[in-house]
C-alpha cells in the first residue's frame, strides 16, 4: 500500500501535500508527511522483525509520553488511527504509526562539550521524569542491553558461521581481542542478580542524534522512544558517550582516528549527575566509567555478531559495513578502557 493511503488512516489534520524519506535510523523506515494544516507529521513503518510486540511497544510509548506531558514538558505525540483509536495501524503487511513533526528542531550527529552538558542534563532529567511513572512498562526487546545475552549471541553466531565468514583471519583476530573482556563486561548482570543494582525506565538508545534542539541550542525533547524500557542507567549514560565521545562516526573506517574524548565525557557526566543525582545510588555512580566502556564493547559484539551472521539485523550500505563498524567500536572500547582512571578522578571531583 502506498504511504499516502497509510498516512490517511490516521487522524491527521489538513491535506497531505508530500511524503518524503526522513532521517537515517538503522531500524525503522521513516517519512515526513507534509500537510497544508497546522502540523506536519512523521510516518514510520515499525520494524516488526525487531519489535515483535507492537502492542507493548506502543503501550510503553503512550504511557511514557502521557506521563511526561502531564508534567508540562514537550514529548512525542502519537496520533490515533481513525478506525481503531490505537496509535498504530497495520495494512495487513506492515505496522505503521504517525506522530506530530516537531517544528524548528534540529538533531546533530556530533556535539561539542557545551551541547554534551545539555544532553547529560536532559537524559538525566528524562530518567528523573519517568522515575515515578505509575504504569508497568515491559521490555520491547527482551534483554536488549543484557551483555550476557549479547555475548551468548556472538558465541552462537561463531558456532553457526552462517555466512562462512569465520575463515577470515581478521574475524578470528577480532574475536580473540574481544573474548577476554567478556566476563568483566557482564558485571551489570551480576550486580543485578546480587540485588544491588536496580533497573529503571531508561531510553536505551541515547545516541546523540536522538535529542532535539531548538535554533539557540536549548534541548526540546528526547526522541526515538522504541527502546524505552526497564534497564540499567548504564544504558543511557554509556550509549550517549559511545556516539558523542568518539572522535569519528561509529562507521568511520579510519580506526586510527578513533579516540574517546574526555572533554565530552566530562561535560556530559557533569550534566547527567546534576539532574540524575536525585535518584542515583552510589553503586550506579561508581560504575559510570564501566558503562562508558561497556557500550562500545556491547556494540562491537552486536555489529560483529551481525557481520558473522551475514548482516541480518542492521541496515548496511556496503558488504563490509558491519565489519567496519566493529573495528571502529573495538578501537573505541580500548580507548575508553585506558581512560577509566581519569573518568574515576573526574567523577570524584564533581561529587565533592
Ligand atoms: C540501532 O536505529 P537506530 O540507529 O536508532 C539500534 C541501537 C544501536 C544503533 C547503532 C533497536 O539504533 O541499539 O546502538 O542502531 N537499535 C536497535 O547505531 O537495535
Ligand atoms: Mg535513532
Q: What is the pLDDT of residue 63?
A: 97
102-124 residue pLDDT tens? 999 998 888 899 999 999 999 99
Q: Which residue, 97, 100, 79, is CA-closest to 88?
A: 97
Helix, strand and coil in the chain, % to nearest 5: 50, 15, 40
Fold of 113-351: Aminoglycoside 3'-phosphotransferase; Chain: A, domain 2 (3.90.1200)
Cα(207) to ligand 1 centroid in Å equals 8
DSSP string of 138-164, one letter each residue: --SSTTTT-HHHHHHHHHHHHHH-TTS
Ligand 1 atom at shortest distance from the alpha carbon of 141: 11
Question: What is the CATH code for 3-100?
Answer: 3.30.200.20
Q: Has residue 352 got a pLDDT over 70?
A: no
Q: Which ligand is nearest to the CA of 27?
A: 1
**Which of 24, 27, 149, 224 should be mutated for ligand 1, with most atoms under 8 A from CB?**
27
Grid cell 559511545 — which residue? 242
Residue reference for cell 533497573:
199
Residue with CA nearest ligand 1 atom 18: 26
Helix (H, G, I), strand (E, B) or coil at 20: strand
Q: Is the pLDDT of residue 152 over 70?
A: yes
For residue 105, count CB atoms less than 10 angstroms from its CB and return exposed for 0-12, middle for 13-18, buried for 19 or more: middle
Q: Give the atom of ligand 1 at the shortest distance from the alpha carbon of 50.
A: 11
Report helix, strand or coil for 285. Answer: helix
Question: For residue 352, how many other CB atoms are within 10 A of its CB?
Answer: 4
The whole-model pTM stands at 0.90
Query: What are the residue boundaries of the structural domains of the chain, listed by start?
Result: 3-100, 113-351
Contact 244, 264 (CB under 8 A): yes
Q: Say what the pLDDT of residue 92 is.
A: 87
Tens-place pLDDT, residues 12-50: 999 999 999 998 777 889 999 999 999 999 999 999 999
Kindly identify the ligand whose nearest atom is closest to the C-alpha of 205.
1
How confident is the model over 201-252, as pLDDT tens digits? 999 999 888 999 999 888 899 999 999 999 999 999 999 999 999 999 999 9
Mean pLDDT of the chain: 95
Report the alpha-carbon distance of residue 126 to residue 210 in Å, rounded: 12
Amino acid at each position: 500500500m502506498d504511504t499516502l493511503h497509510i498516512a490517511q488512516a490516521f487522524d491527521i489534520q489538513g491535506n497531505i501535500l508530500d511524503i518524503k524519506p526522513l532521517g537515517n535510523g538503522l531500524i525503522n523506515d521513516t517519512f515526513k508527511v507534509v500537510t497544508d494544516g497546522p502540523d506536519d507529521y512523521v510516518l514510520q513503518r515499525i520494524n516488526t522483525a525487531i519489535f515483535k510486540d507492537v502492542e507493548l511497544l506502543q503501550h510503553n510509548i503512550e504511557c511514557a509520553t502521557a506521563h511526561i506531558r502531564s508534567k508540562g514538558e514537550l514529548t512525542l505525540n502519537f496520533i490515533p488511527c481513525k478506525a481503531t483509536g490505537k496509535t498504530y495501524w497495520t495494512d495487513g503487511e506492515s505496522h505503521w504509526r504517525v506522530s506530530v513533526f516537531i517544528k524548528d528542531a534540529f538533531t546533530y550527529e556530533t556535539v561539542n562539550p557545551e551541547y554534551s552538558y545539555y544532553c547529560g542534563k536532559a537524559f538525566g532529567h528524562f530518567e528523573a521524569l519517568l522515575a515515578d511513572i505509575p504504569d508497568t512498562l515491559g521490555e520491547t526487546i527482551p534483554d536488549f542491553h543484557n551483555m550476557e545475552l549479547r555475548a551468548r549471541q556472538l558465541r552462537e553466531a561463531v558456532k553457526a558461521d552462517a555466512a562462512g565468514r569465520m575463515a577470515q583471519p581478521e574475524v578470528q583476530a577480532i574475536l580473540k581481542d574481544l573474548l577476554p573482556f567478556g566476563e568483566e563486561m557482564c558485571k551489570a548482570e551480576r550486580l543485578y542478580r546480587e540485588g544491588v543494582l536496580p533497573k529503571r525506565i531508561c531510553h536505551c538508545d541515547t545516541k546523540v542524534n536522538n535529542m532535539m534542539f531548538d535554533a539557540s541550542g536549548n534541548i526540546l525533547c528526547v526522541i526515538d522512544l522504541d527502546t524505552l524500557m526497564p534497564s540499567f542507567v548504564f544504558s543511557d549514560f554509556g550509549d550517549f558517550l559511545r556516539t558523542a565521545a568518539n572522535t569519528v562516526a561509529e562507521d568511520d573506517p579510519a580506526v586510527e582516528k578513533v579516540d574517546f574524548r574526555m572533554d565530552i565525557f566530562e561535560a556530559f557526566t557533569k550534566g547527567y549527575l546534576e539532574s540524575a543525582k536525585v535518584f542515583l545510588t552510589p553503586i550506579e555512580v561508581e560504575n559510570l566509567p564501566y558503562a562508558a566502556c561497556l557500550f562500545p564493547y556491547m556494540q562491537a559484539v552486536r555489529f560483529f555478531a551481525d557481520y558473522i551472521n551475514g548482516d541480518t539485523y542492521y541496515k548496511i550500505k556496503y558488504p563490509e559495513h558491519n565489519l567496519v563498524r566493529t573495528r571502529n567500536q573495538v578501537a573505541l572500547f580500548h580507548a575508553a578502557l585506558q581512560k577509566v582512571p581519569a573518568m574515576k578522578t573526574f567523577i570524584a571531583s564533581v561529587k565533592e
